[in-house]
Amino acid sequence: MPAKRIIPCLDVKDGRTVKGINFEGLADVGDPVELGARYAAEGADELVYLDISATKEGRATFTGLVNRIAERINIPFTVGGGISSVDDASRLLDAGADKITVNSAAVADPRLIEAIATRYGSQFVVAAIDARQTEGVWRVTTHGGSRFSDKELFSWAKEVESRGAGEVMFTSMDHDGTRSGYPCATFARLCSSLSIPVIASGGAGSVEDIASVFLDGHADAALAASIFHYGDMTVNALKERLKSFGIEVRL
């Protein structure tokens, strides 16, 4: 069985790393290049950088940041946020990103996934899916979880796989930033329905939460932010603890 991956996530706004709950109440938590370099040195398997800037100026800043990250960091990193065309993806991949993630724009036009995968290959495309539970159904959301779409989590995940996504990154918007754990039963169902890796996102507050999403949710990787940004635990310390649960990780 492949080793489980630990992936620190850095939300970036206008060149700085920020953190909030459900993308609200954002606080500055540091320089994204320095934080990324620290996490890489601590044993992170990959990094994810999400651009949450709302302006063209912010997007340009992010592209320059991707160049700096590529020059400094020697582990794979994925970037996303506002990617709505093949040209957007090209700009970030050309700047040095290893993978890109698409979300709201792919919900609006699923052909975007096919177009990027056709040009670059499925291994470069991560489909990010944000969803909330409403009336017992996991509804896919867009625009940082603020708008419901007409799509349902499990059927949409199957569709993005069929259109060429190489991985799915699922975030429960009900859990994001709350540090209350992952919805493991939902992850277990999602992972069993797909043949591509699933990255768990949204809700990691403890080692036990991450162990559960691996053992009970069968996720291939876990994304976490708060526990690293606020110094609760280093990546290596987390991995050592996960080993004690019998979970295979790279040390």
Catalytic residues: 11, 130
Q: How far apart are CA 232 and CA 3, in angstroms?
A: 23
- The DSSP code sequence of 80-111 is ESS--SHHHHHHHHHTT-SEEEE-HHHHH-TH
Alpha helices in 194-234 (DSSP H): 207-215, 226-229
Taking the C-alpha atoms of residue 15 and residue 60, their distance in angstroms, rounded to an integer, is 10
Distance CA 201, CA 172 (A): 7
CA distances from 13 to 55, 56, 201, 234 (A): 10, 12, 19, 24
- The DSSP element (H or E) to which 221 belongs, if any, is strand 221-224
* Nearby residues of 52 by Cβ (< 8 Å), 6 or more positions away: 11, 12, 13, 18, 23, 81, 144
Quote the CA–CA distance of 131 and 129 in Å, as a whole number: 6
User: Phi, psi (5° rounding) for residue 153?
Assistant: -50, -55
